[in-house]
Amino acid sequence: MAVLTEDKRKLIGQLQKHLLRWQGFKSPENSSESIGLGSVERAFPNAVFPIGSIHEFIGTTPEQAAATSGFIGGILAALMRKGGVCLWISTSNRLFPPAIKHFGVEPDRIIFIEARREKDILWALEEALKCDRLIAAVAELPAMDFSQSLRLQLAVEKSRVTGFVLRSNPLRVGNTACAARWQITPLPSESDEGVPGVGLPKWGVELLKVRNGNPGYWELKWSAGQFITVSKPEKVSELPMRNRKIG
Amino acid sequence: MEKRFASIWFRHLTADWLALRRPTLRNMPFVLAEPVHGRMVITAANALAETQGIHAGMVVADAKAAVPDLQVIDHPPGLTEKLLEALGLWCIRYTPAVAVAPPDGLILDTTGCTHLWGGERPYLKEIVTRLRDKGYDVRMAIAGTIGTARAVAHYGKAEPIISSGAERDALSPLPPAALRLESDAVQRLRKLGLRTIGSFMSMPRTALRRRFGPELVEKLEQALGQADEYIQPLRPIPPYMERLPCLDPIRTATGIEIAIQRLLEVLCKRLAGEGKGLRQAVLRCYRVDGKMVQVAIRTSSPTAHAAHIFKLFALKIPQIEPALGIELFLMEASKIEDADPVQHALWGGMPGPEDATLAELLDKLAGKTGIHKVSRYLPDEHHWPERSYRLASSIGEKPVTTWRTDQPRPTRLLAKPEPIEVSAPVPDYPPMLFRYKGELHPIRKADGPERIEREWWMDKEERRDYYQVEDEDGRRYWLFRSGHYADGQPQQWFLHGFFA
């Protein structure tokens, strides 16, 4: 296989950008802004975390849900750096408000909505995503089908609100119109040599699906108010087979 | 709330007023008179004249024959009504609902007002003293019904304050005239030897109605609180209410929408003009079949934005059952608050929670039937995890204290700690392994204990020793041991949360 020359690489990069544009992908205006995810952001098109789209997180166990809540908290902290409010919609509130402060979000800037049924959560989420005065809306849902996700995606395209959907039922993981599908699993924490006790929160962050991007697996930890990438991104071919899905 | 009424009786209303205007009249008997059928008839007499046997209703010529030095003054037309109204308006300082009770009294609805003067007795004393200082001879009574208050003010001899429920005892020694009856009914009662209300109070109502007419029974029931009696306040408190009668009964959702829009337009214009906003509104729909259906909405902050309130009602329209048709719509703003004039942001920065558009979104969410609750939390000064945060009372409330981050806290907290089985070899040490929902978790790392003492002044729970533990798969939990270590007693451990 011939080694790619500098010219060819540039050409391919340009063609990729063209392709993205033809596919209707709009590059975000403030593309320089990073949300602190480090190398994970490089998996997304134009190496920018997509704000104003729907991200779904698969978390089946309460431990995964807890890790995902922390991870979303870290992202929300970056999104809400300039002020603003976000919504957290669920059937029964399990998020412990004082804990979210550890991830840099003022818990009083989160408004908790409790709905009775799955249907009502979807309705509330769609209404929230239509309101451009919000930064983000997080919803905890057992499942979501393609048309529902499409409705949400259409709502955010106008308002530029970022939507996070925490899905707890893995049996019904189907195709969705979301920009990315994540799976966060807690990993054993690392503590410095000789220091006993539990160390900093550490997660295995898997991007199962990225629209127009590259899925991957990273290990991140949360330290002093920011994400720190522990391991280098693995190649897609080294990922376990079940994760090799390209959206 | 239990209703309370006060009755003020001006014994010589016009005479006192005249004496105030003409101080020379104070020490002589005088009467006011007006021509009736070509004769001068006395309408009011002062206290001095009354002691000499002069009373209202006498012909002036007869009175002059009895008391030669009697002064007769023409009664200015409309004086009584004007005086009562002026005094009634003066009394609005004591209660917002004051009504005139011609010919010589005022009725005050004192419900919920008297405590501002330290109770009913100081309240009564204050009003009586003020009016007597002005020069009016007044008597006053407070009771649970208008009828009793009036009867006791006019005829009561001992206690001017009648507690609610004691009307029967207070009324029974009073003469029948205290019930404000027609004079022939009073005379008939007297002829039959019924000189006190108590003598006929317990007679069968049907017999009373047959013999003395329906008025007696009605007045008696009103005085005893068995029938309602209403007063017409001098300055009616204007309710924020709009009506929309329809020529043809409305049966469609579109029709209801139009009706709501019209009502809101008028109501919101008025609210905005007065610098107010509504927090709660009720729409009552009166149907052709005589039934009434109503829907209510509430908002998170006072608003007079018609389009927004309409959206909230629009969510409720499916609940309105028009049946054969609605002929009258009634929109009432049942809770009103002062609204800050809306300052629209010049720059489109990200707004705080008090932003109007956001408030409208939250109202919409809260108004939907499937939405359980909309809440925002503020830090609270408690170490006990379940009480470390509290519900914010309003959407714009700022935290008074900061959120604490000095201790690790789990991102997910179980609503109720779940009991787990542990094996902890050493007292006051984290367990080696625990079993939760059938799964065994060998613990690799642990932090703690963090002892959280029970808040004994609030509840009776045991103190908790919290440990942050991590199992071999890297899953992090928040466990606690309830209570003290004691010999021979098994320790109960609980799982309370999941760390990120």
pLDDT computed for residue B477 by the predictor: 92
Distance CA B94, CA B128 (A): 12
Is residue A148 predicted with pLDDT exceeding 70? Answer: yes
CATH topology of domain A53-187: Rossmann fold (3.40.50)
Closest residue to A66, CB basis, from B364, B370, B499: B499
Measured between CA atoms, the residue of chain A closest to residue B359 is: A133
CB contact under 8 A, A116 and B371: yes
Distance, in angstroms, between B475 CA and closest chain A CA? 6
> Per-residue pLDDT for chain B (500 aa), expressed as one digit of tens each?
688 999 999 988 888 888 888 888 888 888 889 888 888 899 888 888 888 888 888 898 888 888 888 888 888 888 888 889 888 888 888 888 889 887 888 999 988 888 888 889 999 999 999 999 988 889 999 999 999 999 999 888 888 898 888 888 888 899 888 888 888 888 888 898 888 888 888 888 898 888 888 888 888 888 888 888 888 888 766 678 888 888 888 889 899 999 999 999 999 888 888 888 888 899 989 888 888 898 998 887 788 888 888 888 988 888 888 888 898 898 888 888 877 655 444 444 455 555 677 878 888 888 777 777 888 888 888 888 888 888 887 776 778 888 888 888 999 998 889 999 888 777 778 888 899 888 899 988 888 788 888 888 877 778 888 999 998 888 999 999 888 777 667 778 899 999 98
Q: How many contacts does A have with B, using Cβ atoms within 8 A? A: 194
Which positions 186-225 of A are in contact with B (Cβ < 8 Å)?
186-189, 191, 196-199, 201-203, 222
pLDDT computed for residue B498 by the predictor: 92
CB contact under 8 A, A134 and B361: yes
| Interface probe, candidates A133, A161, A205, A223, chain B, greatest B C-beta count within 10 A | A133
Closest residue to A116, CB basis, from B372, B409, B411: B372
Contacts of B389 in chain A (CB under 8 A): 97-98, 107
Q: Of B477, B484, B480, B454, which is closest to residue B465 (Cα–Cα)?
A: B480
Alpha-helical regions (H) of B279-385: 306-314, 356-367
What would the two tokens of residue B125 be?
């004393």
Residue ranges of domains in chain A: 53-187
CB contact under 8 A, A131 and B475: no
Distance CA A207, CA A217 (A): 6
Distance CA B274, CA B267 (A): 11
Measured between CA atoms, the residue of chain A closest to residue B376 is: A111
Distance, in angstroms, between A42 CA and closest chain B CA? 24
Q: What is the mean pLDDT of chain A?
A: 82
pLDDT computed for residue A71 by the predictor: 93
- Mean pLDDT for the stretch of residues A112-137: 89
Backbone angles phi, psi at B81, to 5 degrees: -60, -45
| Interface check B469 vs A, CB under 8 A | yes
Cross-strand partners of B412: A95, B498
CATH topology of domain B241-367: Dna Ligase; domain 1 (3.30.1490)
Cβ atoms of A80 and A109 within 8 Å: the answer is yes
Alpha-helical regions (H) of B166-213: 167-171, 183-191, 198-201, 205-212
pTM: 0.60
pLDDT computed for residue A247 by the predictor: 43
Distance CA B168, CA B173 (A): 10
Distance CA B13, CA B18 (A): 9
Backbone angles phi, psi at B113, to 5 degrees: -110, -30
Is residue A137 predicted with pLDDT exceeding 90? Answer: yes
Omega before B103 within 30 of 0, i.e. cis:
yes
Q: What percent of chain A has pLDDT over 90?
A: 19
Cross-strand partners of B493: B420, B481
Question: Long-range contacts: B191-196, Cβ < 8 Å, 24+?
Answer: B196/B172
Cβ atoms of B288 and B325 within 8 Å: the answer is yes
**Strand stretches in B91-137, DSSP E:** 98-101, 105-109
What would the two tokens of residue A47 be?
């190496």
CB neighbour class for B343 (10 Å; exposed up to 12, middle 13-18, buried from 19): exposed
Distance, in angstroms, between B97 CA and closest chain A CA? 42
Measured between CA atoms, the residue of chain B closest to residue A201 is: B500
Is residue A241 predicted with pLDDT exceeding 60? Answer: no
Q: Using alpha carbons, list the distances in angstroms from residue B386 to A134, A223, B64, B454, B500.
A: 28, 26, 87, 12, 18
Alpha-helical regions (H) of B321-424: 356-367
What would the two tokens of residue A95 be?
């998020």
pLDDT tens profile A215-234: 889 888 888 888 888 865 45
pLDDT tens profile A53-73: 899 999 888 899 999 999 999
pLDDT tens profile A175-218: 888 889 999 999 888 777 667 788 888 899 999 888 888 888 98
Is residue A238 predicted with pLDDT exceeding 60? Answer: no
Which residue type is seen at B221?
A: E
DSSP code, position A188: -
Distance CA B304, CA B268 (A): 5
Contacts of A194 in chain B (CB under 8 A): none
| Cα–chain center distance at B443 | 59
Query: What region does B146 belong to: left with phi over 0, alpha with psi -120 to 50, or beta?
Result: alpha
Cβ atoms of A90 and A213 within 8 Å: the answer is no
What would the two tokens of residue A88 be?
């957290």
Q: Which residues make Cβ contacts (< 8 Å) with residue B203, sequence separation at least 6?
A: none
pLDDT computed for residue A233 by the predictor: 47
Contacts of B408 in chain A (CB under 8 A): 102, 198
What would the two tokens of residue A30 be?
């403030």
Distance, in angstroms, between B241 CA and closest chain A CA? 31
Which positions 59-98 of A are in contact with B (Cβ < 8 Å)?
62-63, 65-67, 69-71, 73, 80, 82-85, 92-98
Cβ atoms of B479 and B385 within 8 Å: the answer is no
Backbone angles phi, psi at A120, to 5 degrees: -70, -35
| Cα–chain center distance at B354 | 28
Q: Which residue has the tokens 């009725």?
A: B107
User: Residue B238, Cβ neighbours under 10 Å: how many?
Assistant: 8
CATH label, B1-237, candidates 3.20.20.300, 3.30.70.270, 1.10.10.10, 3.40.470.10: 3.30.70.270
**Strand stretches in B189-325, DSSP E:** 241-250, 276-287, 292-303
Cβ atoms of B404 and A98 within 8 Å: the answer is yes
| Interface check A136 vs B, CB under 8 A | no
**Secondary structure class of B368 (helix, strand, coil):** coil
Q: What torsion, rounded to 10 degrees, do the Cα atoms B124, B129, B131, B136 define?
A: 120
CB neighbour class for A191 (10 Å; exposed up to 12, middle 13-18, buried from 19): middle
| Interface check A116 vs B, CB under 8 A | yes
Closest residue to B404, CB basis, from A98, A109, A120: A98
Q: Of A130, A132, A93, A127, which is closest to residue A110 (Cα–Cα)?
A: A93
Cβ atoms of B415 and A94 within 8 Å: the answer is yes
Omega before B449 within 30 of 0, i.e. cis:
yes
Is residue A27 predicted with pLDDT exceeding 70? Answer: no
DSSP code, position A95: B
Residue ranges of domains in chain B: 1-237, 241-367, 412-498
Q: Which residues of B346-368 are buried (b: 16+ CB within 10 A; e: fewer)?
A: eeeebbebbbbebbbbbbbbbbb
Distance CA B453, CA B498 (A): 21
Backbone angles phi, psi at B190, to 5 degrees: -65, -40
pLDDT computed for residue B114 by the predictor: 86
pLDDT computed for residue A4 by the predictor: 67
Distance CA B412, CA B435 (A): 19
Backbone angles phi, psi at B52, to 5 degrees: -95, 15
DSSP H/E element including B463: none
Is residue A237 predicted with pLDDT exceeding 70? Answer: no
Cβ atoms of B229 and B146 within 8 Å: the answer is yes
pLDDT computed for residue B345 by the predictor: 42
Contacts of A202 in chain B (CB under 8 A): 474
Closest residue to B475, CB basis, from A92, A107, A186: A186
| Cα–chain center distance at B202 | 34
pLDDT computed for residue B351 by the predictor: 56
